[in-house]
Amino acid sequence: MTDLENILPYLGELIARWLRGFLPSWLVDMIMMAIVGLLIILLMVIVVMALTLLERKILGRLQDRLGPNRVGPYGLIQPVADVLKLLIKEDIIPEKADRLLHFLAPVIIVVPAFMVWAVIPFGKKLVAADLNIAVLYVIALGSVTSIAILMAGWGSGNKYALLGGFRAVAQLFSYEVPMALAILSVVIAAGSMSLQKIVEAQSPLPFVLLQPVAFLIYFICGVAETNRSPFDLPEAESEIIAGYHIEYSGVKWAMFFLAEYINTFAVSAMVVTLFLGGWKGPILPSYLWFFIKVAIVVYVFFWLRATFPRLRIDQLLNFSWKFLVPLAMANLLVTGLVTKLGLVYGIKVTAYWVGNILVGGLGLYLLGRFTPKKALA
């Protein structure tokens, strides 16, 4: 099985050795980097195409109907049909739109989505750039999305888009704070900001078992950051039609769509890397384990979308600032304390559990006390 493990690095070595035969060394390095970048982009595009089809089929099954099944057997060629349609559509720019902003917004939203994938470890030796500040890099790129959405909202010259843009900015920056605090607890527990080292620090137990409160906080904030149900207010279909991307059509809309799915996949990958043990697992090669775990998390994302109604903007913001941020800070306190004490592994696990149960229990109790919306008044 170690042969299957190392298949991609082995191929990379072969190509590099062949190129060094007739090219200077620095050029060979640049060409290898370009090849890795292209591979990641290709992988992302294929994954997004598969995700769009999967989402529609899973949503359909949860709603007691079949998803798309006309285009090809079981609807498998549906994404190709969608991409073709989007490419040949006419590009309409409204009269009152600010042309520069309208043009730049899709670009700025899609580039950081791809850039995040440079640091995520797909397997034991499969990480494009093993930065030792990878976590900081990911958090920073996540914040660029809010700028792009505001540009899209303002630059469209449409009041619905503007409303969508306001809501999106408020939601996105409110949910970055608890997200960063939750990631920080993992960083303290693992002792490093590099994602590859965080995965390796998760033996024998993955961090979801050591830090369940941080896992839940990060999961909720991840759903909010990618504008998915139940936090999909900025693109609430039933109220402000399509929110900030209401005036986009064709390739530019495809960029927004692409960015949303790549972000969903990226957040799932971060959840898996930080909490579920990354690529660790017996028997199968590491990248297969990675994809299996990410698939499960993505399925939970789709399940949430089919099931819950959405929250209103002020309820969203209240939830983040008044509940999640204090909870995340309390969790950080507990984690820091347990790590500083430097205990033996078994006792450390028990201490983590006790701390998390205390923090989680207190949080839920206070939440129940202060939001008493009863069914039968």
Partner 1 sequence: MAVALKTQEIVLNMGPQHPSTHGVFRMVLTLEGETIVDLKPVYGYLHRGIEKLSEGRSYLQAVPITDRLDYMCAMTNEFAYAVAVEKLAGIKPPERAEYIRVIMAEFTRILNHMMAIGFLFNDLGAYFTPVLYAFRAREHILDLFEWASGSRMMPNYIRPGGVAGDLPEGFIPQAKKLVAHLWKFADELDTFLSENEIFLQRARGVGVLPPEVAIAYGVTGPVLRASGVKYDVRRAEPYSVYDRFDFEIPTLPNGDVYDRYMLRLLEWKQSLRILEQALDQIPDGPVSEKVPRRLRPPKGEVYGRIEAPKGELGFYLVSDGSDKPYRFKIRPTSFVNLGVLREITIGHKVADVVIILGSIDITMGEVDR
Task: Please give the C-alpha separations between residue 205 and each of 276, 277, 283, 340, in angstroms, as whole numbers.
Answer: 9, 8, 17, 19
Distance CA 280, CA 302 (A): 24
Residue 270 near partner 1 by CB under 8 A = no
CB nearer to partner 1: give 5 or 260. Answer: 260
Backbone angles phi, psi at 130, to 5 degrees: -85, 75
Q: How far apart are the first and last CA of the chain?
A: 61
Interface characters, 237-266, with partner 1 (x: CB under 8 A): xxxxx-------------------------
Residue 179: name the closest of 232, 138, 150 by CA.
Answer: 138
Here the tokens at position 259 are 């960015």
Least distance (Å) from partner 1 to the CB of residue 6?
Answer: 43
Run of H or E including 222: helix 212-225
Distance CA 227, CA 230 (A): 8
Least distance (Å) from partner 1 to the CB of residue 143?
Answer: 23
CB nearer to partner 1: give 158 or 331. Answer: 158
CB nearer to partner 1: give 65 or 70. Answer: 65
Least distance (Å) from partner 1 to the CB of residue 149?
Answer: 17
CB nearer to partner 1: give 229 or 335. Answer: 229
Q: Which residues touch 90 (CB under 8 Å, ≥6 apart)?
A: 249, 250
34 in Cβ contact with 23 (< 8 Å): no
Least distance (Å) from partner 1 to the CB of residue 219?
Answer: 16
Contact residue for partner 1 among 32, 111, 188, 306 (CB under 8 A): 306
Contact residue for partner 1 among 11, 62, 80, 205 (CB under 8 A): 62
CB nearer to partner 1: give 12 or 94. Answer: 94
Residue 368 near partner 1 by CB under 8 A = no
Least distance (Å) from partner 1 to the CB of residue 308?
Answer: 6
Residue 205: name the closest of 189, 194, 217 by CA.
Answer: 189
Where on the chain is the footprint of partner 1 (CB under 8 A)?
A: 59, 62-65, 159-160, 163, 229-230, 232-233, 236-241, 305-315, 371, 373-375, 377
